[in-house]
Structure 1
């Protein structure tokens, strides 16, 4: 008789790594397919697939009484995928504002002046980040340099999501104050 998802999940809760492997074998392809459909990037889809199964392993927040494991995994994948898309959009907007090259499609051969200008802008942003209090700086660095969503930052720092959102917003406002002289006025 085949082992059910509920049985495997119960084994997972006892720390059984083999149960995680079996669940990955059952649903890894499904999670990856949805990740790829949402993110449209194979590497990011692989990363998200790993993240989903790590969440299942570490948090163990699936409740069998609320539905099938496959449904839970799909909802979690969709939610985390959307978080990554939002994070990607914020990062592009942030970097785009400072003239950073975002992808191979948009790359042109930069002139020496462009390279110096971009380098100066990066240094300016880095210096402004260093002046922020650690509680803001760490969150912004994870978001913009590591590409983590606010949910992922919350998990990584073991901090409530609301705190991450508040500190992110306050940090961006502080950063904006530090960068105002280089922005040439107010930009949204």
Structure 2
């Protein structure tokens, strides 16, 4: 089984959108640059979700194979390339967890897998924001402007990876309250980020 290789050199010279356009034109060197840029983060995310190094390596390989095959479907200007890549990886992890759920497991494993399945789909967007320093700075500034109780649920969800049920348990609050605070916080964040020229696609319900 192939292992996730380390980035060969600094591949930050070209924008992601330029690279994905070249990948769509079947430029394998552009795919290699995207791989060097994001493979380790995809691997770390898959390892955290699946808890298995070999499966995480498989997720990395399958993710970039799908990037190669589906690059022509990526719409420039409608989202971040990084978020798209992480979304592919996240969905592959979810599929793997569902396959595992179809097999006999212990109650503890079932609980852990369900917690992963409950994670917000926006997780990939948050990872994308984390690797883009300026964008992360703007998001953190926006977070500081929303009410503390709303900010708390977003931070637990998007920066610590907790599901809404886990947040409710940690805060000792009804899950309905957590969902309401999340919805209000996301609405406020969208307004603030729109003013900073960051689209609503950066955060999802």
Scaled by the length of structure 1, the TM-score of the pair is: 0.47
Greater helix proportion: 1
- Bigger radius of gyration: 1
